[in-house]
Amino acid sequence: MTARNKPKKPHILVCNDDGIEGPGLHALAASMKKLGSVTIVAPADPHSGMSHAMTLGEPLRIREYRKNNRFYGHTVSGTPVDCIKVALSHILDEKPDLIVSGINYGSNTAMNTLYSGTVAAAIEGVIQGVPSLAFSLTTYENADFTYAAKFARQLARETLKRGLPTDTILSANIPNVPEDEIKGILITRQGKSRWEESAIERHDVYGNPYYWLGGTLLLHDEELTQDEYAVRHNYVAVTPLNCDWTDHRFRSELETWGLNK
């Protein structure tokens, strides 16, 4: 095969919500570089739990980020969604072939998916017409991104080959265990587990109260077809998520309400 006929390597945009210094981002970018060329655009600081928030009413700053004294990527002084918008409109000359977001600290399963900046970056990608994937490692401590990065490359390769439906992303949650303890890969649905919030009250030096928001995950899932239950049993959970939030099952019943009367 001549150089002229050699297939073009895919171009992959890498983002996250843990910030440009997140080790999960570095592991994901290194893994994607084995598939093609990579551009990294990430928040300057951690923006976990931002969901699909955008920065309005104040300017965004784009800066070059250097790692080991070499150019590594760009930072954006905003949310993960801001990063995707800025990357596609002001950093890249053309749309990438794929957007990957992560690898996130902590799972993005069940109702937690709605809060995720990692997932939102991928959702913004498909809104902009680019196939997109989100990756999360189901731990907040002693994280080992080795297998998660390897699986991300596997899923990215298949996505580049096969494509995805319009407006659909894949959200993958990977257990934080050695590869030989992974039981398999399951195609799952979003579970029903949710957080029960609590706010810890403290006081500043002037006696004014302030609060740390926390919570406990209430488990409502009992089937391996549900993402949170699957990862708790050492399966990789891959969930297709769609931008269309319409409850199509309820539409016909809602029409019987006679709201036009």
Tell me what pLDDT residue 131 has: 98
Total-model pTM? 0.91
HSE-CB at 156 with a 13 A cutoff on CA atoms is 33
Please check whether residue 209 lies inside any domain of the structure.
no
Domain carrying residue 63: 11-191+222-255
CA of 90: how far to CAs of 18, 69, 224, in Å?
A: 22, 24, 42
Per-residue pLDDT tens for 86-115?
999 999 999 999 999 999 999 999 888 998
Residue 2 lies in a domain: no
Q: Is residue 166 part of a domain?
A: yes
**42 is a domain residue:** yes
Pairwise CA distance, residues 50 & 118, whole Å: 9
| pLDDT recorded at residue 5 | 62
Are the beta carbons of 216 and 194 closer than 8 angstroms? no
Binding-site positions for a divalent metal cation? 17-18, 48, 104
Residues of the chain with pLDDT under 70: 1-6, 194-198, 213-218
* Residue 15 included in any domain: yes
* Domain-embedded: residue 217: no
User: Quick check: is 58 in a domain?
Assistant: yes
CATH number at residue 175: 3.40.1210.10
Given this model, what pLDDT does residue 84 score? 98
Amino acid 216: pLDDT = 67
Within a domain: residue 61?
A: yes
List CB contacts of 173: < 8 A, sequence separation 6 or more: 107, 108, 109, 136, 137, 138, 227, 230, 231, 236, 237, 239
Q: What per-residue confidence (pLDDT) applies to 206?
A: 84
Number of domains in the chain: 1
* pLDDT tens per residue across span 209-233: 887 766 666 677 778 999 999 999 9
Taking the C-alpha atoms of residue 134 and residue 52, their distance in angstroms, rounded to an integer, is 14
Query: Residues at the annotated binding site?
Result: 17-18, 48, 104
